[in-house]
């Protein structure tokens, strides 16, 4: 199993080692293109952080909605459906319409 995995890894990486980098139709050293990959890596990292922050905010608003005592029992169901179906957008709407009003 280990030998076949190593062989597969070598077969996959061999063309990459012999690859030429093209920039505007000219062959250039591949080290000149690393800036693009660093930029993409930073973008992906920031995107993942933003998604995690949105997920945490969504969970906090969903828990708050489930624990909150509304005047009407139907309001709780409606708000839970809004937060669940609209996800982060629903959580933002819930925050400004219900939770922020409660702080005042």
Alpha helices in 1-104 (DSSP H): 2-17, 34-67, 73-94, 100-103
Flag whether pLDDT at 37 surpasses 70: yes
Distances (CA, A) of 99 to 1, 14, 79, 84: 56, 57, 11, 16
pLDDT in tens, 45-77: 999 999 999 999 999 999 999 999 988 889 999
Gyration radius of the chain over CA positions? 25
- To the question of pTM greater than 0.85 for the whole model, the response is no
pLDDT in tens, 6-30: 777 777 766 666 567 777 888 777 7
Residue 75, exposed/middle/buried by CB under 10 A (0-12, 13-18, 19+)? Answer: middle
**Domain definitions of the chain by residue range:** 2-103
């Amino acid at each position: 199993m280990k030998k076949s995995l190593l062989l597969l890894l070598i077969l996959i990486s061999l063309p990459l080692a012999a690859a030429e980098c093209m920039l505007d139709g000219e062959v250039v050293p591949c080290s000149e293109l690393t800036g693009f990959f660093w930029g993409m890596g930073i973008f992906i990292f920031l995107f993942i952080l933003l998604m995690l922050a949105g997920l945490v905010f969504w969970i906090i608003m969903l828990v708050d909605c489930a624990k909150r005592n509304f005047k009407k029992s139907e309001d709780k169901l409606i708000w839970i459906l809004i937060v669940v179906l609209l996800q982060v957008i629903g959580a933002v709407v819930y925050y400004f319409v219900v939770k922020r009003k409660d702080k005042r």
